Amino acid sequence: MNHVPSKDDLLQAHERIKSFVHQTSVMTSASIDAIAGCQIFFKCENF
C-alpha cells in the first residue's frame, strides 16, 4: 500500500465520519509537568 492520502482525501474522510466522532477535552497538570520536565497533555477519553 503506497497511497499517501492528500489533504482533500483527509477532508472528505472527516466529512464522512464527523457525526460519529465524540469530542473529548485535553487536560494538563502543572505538577506532572514539573516532575517530567516538559509539558504533558492528557486526552481523557473516559470522561
Contacts 24+ apart (CB under 8 A), 20-28: none
Domain count, the chain: 1
**Model pLDDT for residues 4-36, shown as the tens digit of each residue:** 999 999 999 999 999 999 888 899 999 999 999
Within a domain: 2 = no
Contact 30, 39 (CB under 8 A): no
3 bridge partner residues: none
Within a domain: 1 = no
28 bridge partner residues: 41
The candidate with the shortest Cα–Cα distance to 30, out of 19, 41, 22, 21, is 41
- The three cell numbers of residue 17 are 465520519
- pLDDT (0 to 100) of residue 47: 54
- Identify the domain containing residue 22 by its residue range: 7-43
- pLDDT (0 to 100) of residue 19: 96
